Structure formats: structure tokens, C-alpha cells
Amino acid sequence: MIPAVFIDKDGTLIEDVPYNVDPTKIKLSPGAIEGLLSLQEAGYKLIVITNQSGVAHGYFQESALFAVEERLRQLLAAEGVYLTGFYYCPHHPDGVVPEFAIACNCRKPAPGLLLRATSEHNIDLRSSWFVGDILNDVEAGLCVGCKTILLDNGNETEWDLSPMRTPGFIVTDLVEAAQVILSVDIGMTSRRPQTVNLGLHNQSLATQAINSQFFT
């Protein structure tokens, strides 16, 4: 079985443009190439896991996501990074398109997409990671036994913390995420990311749980 790094798309792998399906507007997040290259070279499969409720809400057709995936793969491949998989959930229970307006098991934080990817690519979940920019990503990863990293880029606004929604680590970009993963799993880097100042009323809870594992 093979370890993987599951990666959220909008706000993590690429800059967040809400409900965007225009390939020309897709821009990789700072540090994405450097971080993913180091993970790829270390033997991790790279798999995108993304909620795309714009389909259920009628903002765009499901077919529009094919061009999004193609453009994303082009941008990454130009720098030598290759995705093993691209998985999306088109559903939302409050959607307006009947086919997609359902409660499903694939919309994060539900783990359906991760389980599907695991089955199709022989992934070892206990040796894998989920990196995302909101706590729903963290919960999805923890549900299947992955280690988790939260990118603290301002996209998480609710901070509804619980044991299943507390990330293992908090970093600022995919370069730092890769450094954490390689240090924890392989001991390949001595450089540690800096502690993140969340500036929130529940900062103490989050940082105590996180920093005690890595930053001390």
C-alpha cells in the first residue's frame, strides 16, 4: 500500500476564487510547486479532494469541472508535479438542481471521496495526510485515520473545534506542510515551521493541541 497526501483545492492548492470554473483564472497558491515536488520525490501520491457545490446550486454544469481538472494538471505538470487523482463532490443538500441536491457521503467533512480514492489507488490511510484550509478538511482526514494539517490562511472563520476537528499541525503554506510531513514521517528536514498566531478567542485550545506535538 502507498502513502498519499490528500489536498484540498480551493484556498489550499490554488488561490480561492469562489465558484470559479474559468481555467484562465486558476492560479497555484504560493509555495504549491515547491511543497508538492518535495512530497512527490519522497514517494507520496498527490490526490485532490474538493467540494464543488456550485453544481448543486446551479452556478455551473458538472462538465465544467473537467476543464478545471485539465488546467490544474497542466499547471502542475509544467513544473514536474503529477496528480494521482482528482476527486470532487458536486452535491449540496440545499441545492436547486434535483440530481445533486442531496445529502451524500462524499461532501467533506464526510469521508466518501477519500475512501473512493483509497480503494482505486491502494492508499495506506494510516500513513497518509490531509492538507486543507478549513476544519471540514481536517475532520474528513481524521475520519479515515489520516494525519492532518491546516493551512491558516484566513479561510476558516468559524473555528468549531472538537477532537475530530483539531488539526495535528497548523502551517501557512504548502512548503511548510511538506516540511512537517517529511519531518514527522521520514525525518528529512530539520527546518520547522513557525508557530502560527491564530488571533482567535480559542487560540489556546488549538495551539496547545497542535504545538505540543511539533513545536516544542
Calpha distance 25→51 (Å, rounded): 18
Check if the beta carbon of residue 63 is closer than 8 Å to that of residue 90: no
Q: Report the alpha-carbon distance of residue 198 to residue 194 in Å, rounded.
A: 12
Report how far apart, in Å, the C-alpha atoms of 133 and of each of 5, 47, 79, 80 are.
14, 15, 23, 24
Structural contact between residues 33 and 81, judged by C-beta atoms closer than 8 angstroms = yes
CA distance 153 to 176: 13
Told to judge if 10 belongs to the known catalytic residues of this protein, a careful annotator would answer yes
Task: Name the catalytic one among 8, 133, 137, 152.
Answer: 8
Q: What is the DSSP string of 116-150?
A: HHHHHHTB-GGG-EEEESSHHHHHHHHHTT-EEEE
Let me know if 8 is a catalytic residue: yes
Return the exposure string of 199-209: e unless at least 16 CB atoms fall within 10 Å of the residue's CB, then b.
eeeeeeebbeb
Residue written as grid cell 530539520: 190
- What residues are annotated to the active site? 8, 10
